[in-house]
Amino acid sequence: MIVVTGATGTLNGATVEHLLERVPAERIGVSARDVGKAQHLAERGVRVRQGSYDDPVALRDSFEGAEQVLLVSSNDMSADVLGQHRTAIEAAVAAGATRILYTSQQNPVGSPYTPAAVHAATEAALAEAALTNSGVAWTALRNGFFGDLDQLLGPWRQTGVIAQPADGPIPWTDRRDLAEAAAVILAGDRPFDGPVTLAAPPVTLDDFAKALTEATGRTIERIVVDDQQWLADRIAEGTPEFVADMTLSMFQAARDGYYAESGPLLGELLGREPRSAAQQVAGRIAA
């Protein structure tokens, strides 16, 4: 059985949908904090059990019978996230899983991007679990950046400019492609051990400005804003300081080259080219 956590969320919810196209529903289980939100999966034959990274007993029960467990990274910023991940890893091992997969991030080791430290430490915890428990393997799905484009680009619709700090290549990757690739890995026979990078070709904010100009017919400019000025402006607008700091650290990591390499694996798994930044922009505008 394949058990997926975070299946009521956007990323791993889509992964379950792709799994249902590849394996029988009875081979799929989900661990959900709120089982009511997963009722639509239960109605299709997926095993739904309650589980929380804060409840090791329930979590182990939700992983029962799993050969593979896909752990979504916690987004609970008020919690001990690494502790939550360790709890989930231990529960998967105790339940007898032979492979534990984790939604990590591209090139997290040493990155100035604030959340990267937790991803790197979680990967180390997975490696330790595999080393100390015979028969347990692990895979870190090092996903390229994905999410709300407006968070990356700022209020370009209103201003006609992308006014952000100096950046570097960022592999902005379509969440749908990442979900599909994860399902291919989970349902396939090819083993993926350790960290694997799943990322679209990297682009810069200059590239986004060109794509937006073509897609909208408006001239969208790219303006580089001083780091500290940008930070002060965000905080003055009401952005929590820790969120502004985290976002700035992403730009810093990009210009330090942490996301410059994408690799071919995502396209190989999809059997096609990943959706480009220009395609994502066009789709967002069309929606």
Return the ∠ at Cα 146 (arms to 86 and 153), rounded to 5°. Answer: 130
Q: Work out the percent of the chain whose per-residue pLDDT is above 70.
A: 100
Full domain range(s) for residue 16: 2-146+174-198
Is 101 within the bounds of a domain? yes
pLDDT band at 287; cut points 50, 70, 90:
low
Q: Note if the pTM is more than 0.75.
A: yes
Q: Mean of the pLDDT values across residues 147-176?
A: 92
Q: What is the pLDDT of residues 214-264, one digit of tens each?
A: 999 999 999 999 999 999 999 999 999 999 999 999 999 999 999 998 889
Is 50 within the bounds of a domain? yes
Q: Are 104 and 143 in contact (CB under 8 A)?
A: yes
Is 194 within the bounds of a domain? yes
Q: Are 201 and 171 in contact (CB under 8 A)?
A: yes
| 179 or 79, which is more confident | 179
- Distance CA(116)–CA(107), nearest Å, equals 8
Total count of domains within the chain:
1
Q: What is the pLDDT of residues 57-83, one digit of tens each?
A: 999 999 999 999 999 998 877 779 999
Is 205 within the bounds of a domain? no
Is 120 within the bounds of a domain? yes
Q: What CATH number corresponds to the domain at position 38?
A: 3.40.50.720
Position 134, amino acid: S
Is 73 within the bounds of a domain? yes
Q: What is the pLDDT of residues 91-133, one digit of tens each?
A: 999 999 999 999 999 999 999 999 999 999 999 999 999 999 9
Q: Mean of the pLDDT values across residues 142-153?
A: 87
**Tell me, what's the pLDDT at 75?**
81
Is 235 within the bounds of a domain? no
Q: How many angstroms separate the Cα of 136 from the Cα of each of 90, 195, 197?
A: 11, 15, 21
Which residues in the chain belong to E strands, given as ranges?
2-5, 28-32, 47-50, 68-71, 99-105, 137-143, 161-164, 194-198, 221-224
Q: Are 173 and 198 in contact (CB under 8 A)?
A: yes
Is 138 within the bounds of a domain? yes
pLDDT at 9 > cutoff 70: yes
